[in-house]
């Protein structure tokens, strides 16, 4: 039973079994959950995003460690709970607007694939920690880029026309 639950959590309700880009599918699922289920239009959504990132992240550490054993490899591609959870960190502290949700999706996928320092080294951590850490680092990079873009847009007077 434990293995079945870990596989369900680790693959985000078996979305990780997608034959094409399971990490992208997991991120897309997170974006959909964020857009349709996280309440509020602006700042209160941050607390929901952070809560989801922490709770799903903790479940991901547990499930990821078990899934490594079940799938017989380090950071198996089918495990996409890391992308799912980290997307909520990538979008935290930003207004709930379509441009941010879409930009966070693409930037997060880019940083997750490229794995800039220290994300590339974080995978050395064992088990579920190694699976989750690089995605959380990619999410922080994503959030910082979007916060910077938002600050520039605000200073140029492009707010709210462009970002709502």
pLDDT tens, position by position, 90-110: 999 888 888 889 999 999 999
Residue 44 has pLDDT above 80, yes or no: no
Domain ranges of the chain: 2-155
Q: What percent of the chain has pLDDT over 70?
A: 88
Prediction pTM value: 0.89
pLDDT attached to residue 72 = 75
CA of 122: how far to CAs of 40, 49, 67, 75, 164, in Å? Answer: 33, 23, 18, 12, 35
The helix or strand, by DSSP H or E, that contains position 142, with its residue range, turns out to be: helix 127-155
At 13, is the secondary structure helix, strand, or coil? coil
Residue 112 to residue 11: CA distance in whole angstroms: 17
pLDDT band for position 49 (50/70/90)?
confident
**Read out DSSP for 18-30?**
-SS-HHHHHHHHH
Say if residue 158's pLDDT is above 50.
Answer: yes
Q: Give the mean model confidence (pLDDT) for residues 69-80.
A: 85
Question: So what's the pLDDT on residue 91?
Answer: 92
């Amino acid at each position: 039973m434990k293995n079945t639950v870990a596989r369900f959590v680790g693959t985000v309700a078996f979305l990780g079994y997608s034959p094409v880009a399971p990490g992208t599918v997991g991120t897309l699922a997170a974006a959909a959950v964020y857009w349709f289920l996280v309440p509020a239009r602006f700042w209160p959504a941050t607390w929901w995003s952070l809560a989801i990132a922490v709770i799903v992240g903790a479940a991901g550490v547990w499930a990821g460690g078990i899934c490594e054993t079940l799938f017989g490899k380090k950071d198996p591609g089918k495990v996409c709970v890391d992308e799912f959870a980290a997307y909520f960190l990538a979008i935290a502290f930003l207004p709930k607007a379509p441009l941010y949700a879409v930009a966070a999706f693409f930037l997060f996928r880019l940083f997750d694939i490229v794995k800039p320092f220290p994300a590339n080294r974080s995978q050395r951590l064992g088990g579920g920690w190694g699976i989750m850490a690089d995605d959380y680092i990619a999410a922080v990079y994503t959030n910082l880029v979007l916060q910077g873009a938002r600050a520039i847009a605000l200073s140029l007077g492009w707010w709210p026309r462009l970002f709502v």
